Structure 1
Amino acid sequence: MNHRDDALMSDMVDVRNAQAASPIVIVCEHASAHIPPAFGDLGLPASALHSHVVWDPGAMAVATGMADLLDAALVASKTSRLVYDCNRPPEAPDAMPARSEIFDVPGNADLSANDKAERVARYYTPFREALAAILAARTAPIMVTVHSFTPVYHGKTREVEIGILHDNDARLADAMLGLAAHHTSRIVRRNDPYGPGDGVTHTLKEHALAHGHLNVMLEIRNDLIATEAEQAAVARTLSDWVSNARAQIEAKA
């Protein structure tokens, strides 16, 4: 990798604690609300620029807390999901969406094939390569992706508070759901508010399922992680579930 590529990587991807002792790798694809000035806020109204359509509020704080508690590496995108959603493959329509929930995204309307290819190369490829390298440096890595979701979506109130999501490998999710059932009063559900049918498991499929690594995707309702104290508390709870679930699985191996 040349110096220019190194600079691009650091501009687009936040990699922390790369030398962590734990095999656990925390991932936050929607960590940032940053829209590069060249995109002119993508034509969004000011009211949308820090809303859930642009990023996952609170998710990076929880992911950082979990990485610290678990002595885990952390890989996060440094650019808004609307510029490029790093949890989507380049061919997905919502990788660079022209509409997100109730908001049109004028800056993503009528993108040419070249426009899209440039965004893939600049935002997605460095993220994918950085995550792949962090995982490859570990023996039997365990990947945990961290997201947040809005409590009201298209006018519908969501009851679920924490979603534990998986694709066709449910080992870690099953163990965490079992722990959650006995150790929290939170409303915790499997593949809710999203699931594989919604196209949200791309990172799991690309980086974990293809290699047989333990993996899970966590969704936290963002009104529950609005303050630093709430973020720290949720990070502790989720870290305990991940750690204990890992221990259960390894004990059975």
Structure 2
Amino acid sequence: MKQKEIFHPFKEIAGNMQAGLALICDHASSDLPVEYGSLGLDPAEFKRHIAYDIGAQLLTEELAKRLEAPAVISHFSRLLIDPNRGEHDPTLIMQLSDGSVIPHNYPLGEAERKRRIDNYYTPYDKAIGRLIANVGEASGNSPFVVSVHSFTPVWRGKARPWHIGLLWDSDRRVFDPLFEGLNKIGHIKVGDNEPYDGALKGDTMYRHCTKKGIAHILIEVRQDLIADEEGVREWANYLEPLFRKINEMREIHMKQLHPSRADN
């Protein structure tokens, strides 16, 4: 777990805005501002999936480099505050995660909750909004947004069979060609809204894409497959050509409103 005196809540990667593709990574980092210490946890906990999405930042950076795509990457642990939740979601600031109690998150006063929203959640959220708006303006079209996450190979003692999960809500424009392309590779088991459902009211994709008719996908790659540079390169090899092909599709760059399943 890294600690820095000057703490920035997000990292930006420059790219070709005119290409119409934007990358984001909500759970990239296990870092905390120095004043939070380790939230009362054993520092070893910040090497676990409860603190960040293992491998997601490396994959996002590799894809950004290959695709020359701009990106926004979070720079704070999800244990401080989860940027992939709505402000009123009860899991916005976790008190218990996969068996670990987070001592400094319980009890949590309203003033501290607001401080974390104002200092970390909101700046990161605004950075995503700026990125999407800037890509749209530069390209002259609605952008294509990819959110990169990772998931644990085992959950509550049960092995997860998927190599990658594609999470979507009600807009299938990216899901359909990506699901088809990945399945053609042959040895990859692809999850359709597995191991999680993509319809989560208030999450990043809901706020920035679903409610605005912007084509998008959230990918979840299994953590053991991208835990090192070799694995990251392998998955970038799979994903890069598919994202390029999808980004060339005309309908991807047209706003289309699809009522969210999360609203039902």
Q: TM-score, normalised by structure 2?
A: 0.87
Query: Once superposed, which parts of structure 1, at least 4 consecutive aligned residues long, lie more than 4 Å away?
Result: 248-253
Give the total of aligned pairs: 244
Displacement after TM superposition at 1:250 (Å): 4.4
Which residue of the other structure, out of 161, 172, 175, is the alignment partner of 1:173?
175
Displacement after TM superposition at 1:47 (Å): 3.0
Q: In 2, distance between residues paired with 1:126 and 1:153?
A: 32
In 2 relative to 1, CA 251–42 (structure 1 residues): closer, same or farther, beyond 3 Å? closer
Contact conserved, 1:149 with 1:220, CA < 8 A, in 2?
A: yes
Please list every run of 5 or more consecutive structure 2 residues that lacks an aligned counterpart in the other structure: 1-5, 137-141, 255-264
Please list every run of 5 or more consecutive structure 1 residues that lacks an aligned counterpart in the other structure: 1-7
Aligned to 2:191: 189
Q: Deviations over 1:103-132 (max 9, x none)?
A: 111111111111111100001110111111
Q: Are positions 1:96 and 2:93 aligned together?
A: yes
Amino acid of the structure 1 residue aligned with 2:28? A
Aligned to 1:3: none
Q: Deviations over 1:140-176 (max 9, x none)?
A: 1111000011111122211111001111112101110
Displacement after TM superposition at 1:40 (Å): 2.2
Q: In 1, distance between residues paired with 2:208 and 2:253?
A: 24
Q: In 1, distance between residues paired with 2:55 and 2:201?
A: 18
Which residue of the other structure, out of 36, 41, 45, is the alignment partner of 1:44?
41
Aligned to 1:246: 247
Q: Are positions 1:110 and 2:107 aligned together?
A: yes
1:4-83 correspondence to structure 2 within 5 Å? 11-17=8-14, 20-83=17-80
Q: Deviations over 1:57-86 (max 9, x none)?
A: 110000011111111111011000110111
Contact conserved, 1:69 with 1:236, CA < 8 A, in 2?
A: no
Q: In 2, distance between residues paired with 1:137 and 1:35?
A: 29
Aligned to 1:163: 165
Q: Is the partner of 1:43 in helix, strand or coil?
A: coil
Q: Is the partner of 2:195 in helix, strand or coil?
A: coil
Q: Is the partner of 2:145 in helix, strand or coil?
A: strand
Q: In 2, distance between residues paired with 1:222 and 1:90?
A: 27
Aligned to 1:135: 132
Contact conserved, 1:102 with 1:154, CA < 8 A, in 2?
A: no
Q: In 1, distance between residues paired with 2:218 and 2:202?
A: 8
Q: In 2, distance between residues paired with 1:208 and 1:13?
A: 19
Q: Is the partner of 1:180 in helix, strand or coil?
A: helix
Q: In 2, distance between residues paired with 1:169 and 1:130?
A: 23
Q: In 2, distance between residues paired with 1:247 and 1:32?
A: 31
1:201-212 correspondence to structure 2 within 5 Å? 202-212=203-213
Amino acid of the structure 2 residue aligned with 1:242? F
Q: In 1, distance between residues paired with 2:210 and 2:219?
A: 16
The alignment's C-alpha RMSD in Å is 2.0
Q: Which deviates more from structure 2 when the two are superposed, residues 82-91 or residues 176-185? A: 176-185
Bigger helix share: 1
Contact conserved, 1:179 with 1:245, CA < 8 A, in 2?
A: no
In 2 relative to 1, CA 112–159 (structure 1 residues): closer, same or farther, beyond 3 Å? same
Q: Which deviates more from structure 2 when the two are superposed, residues 42-51 or residues 134-143? A: 42-51
Which residue of the other structure, out of 91, 109, 118, is the alignment partner of 1:121?
118
Q: Is the partner of 1:81 in helix, strand or coil?
A: coil
Aligned to 1:214: 215
In 2 relative to 1, CA 41–127 (structure 1 residues): closer, same or farther, beyond 3 Å? same
